[in-house]
């Protein structure tokens, strides 16, 4: 696999590794039964800090064609809070950013979790996504989706066919791209003079402060702070003018940018507030991340001690929520069917498949918690929704093991 020797945001070669999560399979490479005896490709999962622009990233690159072949993540198979988040998002775009009319382009629209409510609101919109199987799901919802990777070339083709975009949206994708220059140049090109680029990413401050190293996997090349993003976007003629923070999915920031050439940009106080907070946290210092790396190793030790203790007591333990984040944890901890009987997931895309590396079988949630003592809640970012949903499990004496930010039980012992 190729490995960069420079920062993908600024090109500096002053990049330092602060965390090695071992070599493991791709988090999204769910296995079929017939694949279990075949060799699995593994890739280094090492995380670097750029001393020049303070960006955090992976340098070992799994090709985008490999990452998005047989993609098994459906955005709409999520908690009610996530679905409500995107319906609210669509209303904001329609009522606050667009006005009476306009054209919206969404990059990496997945199964239409945002595009469908936009379409229902009468907004003229198209989506782009590279995962063929996911695009088919989106199209069945009646939305217009181009099955491709977004970049400058596709931006030019869209302009010719549909015109310039008033709003470009990119959610949970700015982390997934190795060639960020090509994508961002395409965004800058397709955006009309007064338009806005709006995107959501996991927030680096949350990853560091809340021990969210489960969000680190091969599909996520970059881990974003406003400090690094602001400098990078300016290189492509874009300036951040507002930021909003959301607790959904473990902590997301919604970033709003316009073309620097737009003389009517009004920079909101949120931008300077975020930059000041990041400086206080130390997101511009290598030492902050070196300390985080040591904390991750300690967390792994604590989790393994807990799981092994419960297993030695004869407890039945299953895993709940078999996402890429969970697969990273299981592989980093080395937890397989010696500890976890099976995994439970709400997505039909994963039924009958197995966790990459650890080969834990995945089953539907119906009656899956019967006679279970402990459920390791890998989908802990949806904790509140899941615990409400699984009241029967708790009433029968079952407990969830919540891994982040430190291992604990709910309900408490």
State pLDDT tens for residues 46-92.
999 999 999 999 999 888 767 665 555 556 555 677 888 889 999 99
Question: pLDDT-based confidence at 5, cuts 50/70/90?
Answer: very high
pLDDT at 1 over 80: no
Residue 267: CB atoms within 10 Å: 12
- What pLDDT shows up at residue 72? 53
pLDDT at 296 over 90: yes
Residue 27: CB atoms within 10 Å: 27
- What pLDDT shows up at residue 81? 75
Contact 386, 79 (CB under 8 A): yes
Average pLDDT, the chain: 92
State pLDDT tens for residues 376-392.
999 998 898 899 999 99
Contact 378, 403 (CB under 8 A): yes
Beta-carbon contacts of 200 under 8 Å, excluding residues fewer than 6 positions away, are 170, 171, 172, 246, 252, 253, 254, 255
Contact 344, 322 (CB under 8 A): yes
- What pLDDT shows up at residue 135? 87
Helices 226-235 and 180-190: crossing angle in degrees, nearest 10, is 60
- What pLDDT shows up at residue 28? 85
State pLDDT tens for residues 390-408.
999 999 999 999 999 999 9
């Amino acid at each position: 696999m190729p490995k960069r020797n420079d920062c993908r945001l600024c090109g500096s070669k002053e990049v330092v590794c602060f965390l090695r999560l071992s070599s493991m399979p791709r988090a999204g490479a769910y296995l079929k039964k017939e694949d279990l005896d075949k060799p699995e490709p593994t890739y280094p999962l090492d995380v670097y800090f750029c001393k020049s622009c303070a960006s955090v990233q992976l340098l070992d690159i799994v090709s985008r064609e490999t990452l998005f072949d047989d993609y098994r993540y459906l955005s709409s198979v999520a908690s009610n809070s996530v679905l409500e988040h995107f319906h609210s998002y669509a209303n904001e775009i329609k009522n606050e950013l667009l006005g009476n009319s306009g054209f919206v382009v969404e990059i990496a629209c997945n199964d239409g979790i945002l595009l469908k409510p936009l379409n229902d609101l009468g907004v003229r919109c198209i989506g782009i996504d590279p995962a063929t199987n996911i695009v088919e799901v989106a199209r069945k919802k009646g939305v217009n989706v181009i099955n491709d990777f977004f970049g400058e070339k596709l931006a030019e083709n869209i302009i010719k066919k549909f015109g310039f975009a008033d709003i470009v949206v990119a959610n949970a994708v700015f982390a997934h791209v190795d060639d960020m220059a090509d994508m961002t140049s395409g965004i800058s090109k397709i955006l009309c003079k007064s338009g806005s680029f709006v995107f959501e990413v996991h927030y680096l401050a949350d990853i560091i402060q809340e021990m969210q190293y489960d969000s680190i996997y091969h599909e996520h090349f970059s881990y974003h702070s406003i400090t690094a993003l602001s400098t990078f976007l300016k290189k492509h003629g874009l300036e951040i003018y507002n930021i909003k923070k959301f607790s959904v999915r473990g902590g997301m920031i919604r970033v709003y940018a316009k073309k620097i050439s737009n003389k009517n940009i009004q920079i909101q106080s949120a931008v300077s507030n975020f930059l000041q907070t990041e400086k206080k946290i130390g997101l511009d210092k290598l030492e902050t991340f070196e300390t985080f790396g040591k904390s991750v190793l300690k967390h792994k030790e604590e989790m393994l001690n807990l799981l092994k203790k419960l297993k030695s007591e004869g407890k039945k333990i299953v895993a709940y929520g078999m996402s890429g984040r969970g697969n990273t944890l299981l592989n980093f901890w080395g937890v397989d069917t010696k500890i976890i009987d099976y995994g439970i997931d709400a997505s039909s895309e994963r039924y009958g498949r197995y966790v990459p590396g650890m080969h834990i079988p995945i089953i539907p949630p119906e009656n899956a918690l019967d006679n279970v003592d402990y459920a390791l809640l890998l989908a802990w970012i949806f904790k509140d929704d899941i615990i409400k949903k699984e009241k029967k499990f708790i009433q029968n004496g079952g407990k969830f093991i919540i891994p982040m930010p430190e291992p604990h039980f709910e309900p408490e012992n």
